[in-house]
Amino acid sequence: MYGKRPVKKLSYSTFEKILQIISGVIVILSFLLISIYWSKLPNKIPTHYDALGSPDAWGQKDSIFILPVISLILYIVLSLLIRIPHVYNYIVEITKENVEYQYRNSRRLLICLKTELVCIFMYILWKTILISLGRSQGLGAIFTPVSLIIIFGTLLYFIIKSIRFRHKS
C-alpha cells in the first residue's frame, strides 16, 4: 500500500530537465504548426490510419485539433504524475534502502514516455497536414511497429532496471 511509502522530494537530473523542456516545446509547436497551415488545409482531412499507416477515415478540418489536445492532456497528466511516485504500482517492493532509486527510475520512465508520446503525436500531426495537402500518402508502413518498439522498449528497459536494482539504495 502506498500510504506507508515515504514521500520524497527528488531533484531532477539535467537529462530529465532537457526531456521535460523538449516535450513541452513539442506540444507548443504542434499548436503552432496548425496555426501556420490552417488556411491551407482542405475541409476534409485524415482522422484515422490503418496498421500500415494509410488514412482510412476522413473528417472535418477542425478535427486536426484532436492531436495536439491529446498531446497537451498527456503532457499535463504525466507532468502531474511524475510528482507523486509514492502512489505508483511497483513491480518490486519499495523499501527504505531502494526508495530513492525506484522513485527516480519510475519518474524517468514517465518523463521518457511523455517525450516519446508527444513526439509520436507531433509526427502524426505533421503527416496528417502533408497528406491533407497532397504531399504524402500516409504515415509509412514502419510507423506502427517503430512506435510500438519505442514505447514497449522503454517500458521494458525501465522495468528491467527496477527489477535488477530492487535492493539498490
pLDDT tens per residue across span 76-123? 999 999 999 999 999 999 988 899 999 999 999 999 999 999 999 999
Backbone φ, ψ for residue 49 (5° rounding): -130, 145
Question: pLDDT value at position 161?
Answer: 96
45: β partners? 59
Instruction: Work out the percent of the chain whose per-residue pLDDT is above 90.
Output: 90
Backbone φ, ψ for residue 167 (5° rounding): -110, 5
CA distance 169 to 157: 19
Question: pLDDT value at position 40?
Answer: 97
Residues 6+ apart with CB under 8 A from 105: 158, 161, 162, 165
Cβ atoms < 10 Å from Cβ of 30: 23
When computed from its CA atoms, the radius of gyration of the chain, rounded to whole angstroms, is 19
Q: What mean pLDDT, rounded, does the chain reach? A: 94
Q: Are 129 and 33 in contact (CB under 8 A)?
A: yes
CA distance 142 to 28: 26
Question: pLDDT value at position 49?
Answer: 96
Q: What is the torsion angle, in degrees rounded to the nearest 10, for the CA atoms of residue 128, residue 131, residue 137 and residue 141?
A: -10
Regarding pTM above 0.95, the answer is no
- Grid cell at residue 100: 530513492
Question: pLDDT value at position 168?
Answer: 60
In this predicted structure, the answer to whether residue 167 has a pLDDT above a threshold of 90 is no
Higher pLDDT, 150 or 7: 150
Mean pLDDT of 24-51: 97
Mean pLDDT of 40-58: 96
In this predicted structure, the answer to whether residue 3 has a pLDDT above a threshold of 90 is no
Question: pLDDT value at position 7?
Answer: 87
CA distance 166 to 169: 9
58: β partners? 46
Biggest alpha carbon distance in the chain? 58
Read off the DSSP letter of residue 150.
H
